[in-house]
Amino acid sequence: MYITDREKAAHIIEKQNDELIKLNTDKDRFMSILAHDLKSPFHSILGLLDLLAENINSFDTKEITDIINQVNNSAHKTFNLLDDLLLWINARSGKLVFDPQELNFSEIFNDIKRDLDSLARNKNIQIIELVSFDTFILADKNILKTVLRNLISNAIKFTDQNGLITINAESDSEFVTVLVSDTGIGIEQIDLVRLFDTHRRISTPGTRNETGTGLGLLLCKEFIDRLGGRIWAESEPGKGSKFSFTVPYIKN
Name the residue ranges covered by the structural domains of the chain.
Answer: 5-92, 100-250
Residues 160-201 have pLDDT tens digits of 999 999 999 888 888 899 999 999 999 888 888 888 776 565
Q: Residue 104 — pLDDT band, cuts 50, 70, 90?
A: very high
The CATH class, in words, for 100-250 is: alpha beta
Residues 36-93 have pLDDT tens digits of 566 767 888 889 999 999 998 999 999 999 999 888 877 877 777 777 777 767 776 6
Fold agreement (5-92, 100-250): no
**Domain range 5-92, its CATH number among 1.10.287.130, 1.10.10.10, 3.40.50.10680, 3.40.50.20:** 1.10.287.130
pLDDT at 9 over 60: yes
pTM higher than the cut 0.75: no
What one-character-per-residue DSSP string does the chain give? ----HHHHHHHHHHHHHHHHHHHHHHHHHHHHHHHHHTHHHHHHHHHHHHHHHHHTTTS-HHHHHHHHHHHHHHHHHHHHHHHHHHHHHHHHTT-PPP-EEEEEHHHHHHHHHHHHHHHHHHTT-EEEE---TT-EEEEEHHHHHHHHHHHHHHHHHTS-TT-EEEEEEEE-SSEEEEEEEE-S----HHHHTTTT-TT-------TT-----S-HHHHHHHHHHHTT--EEEEE-TTS-EEEEEEEEEE--
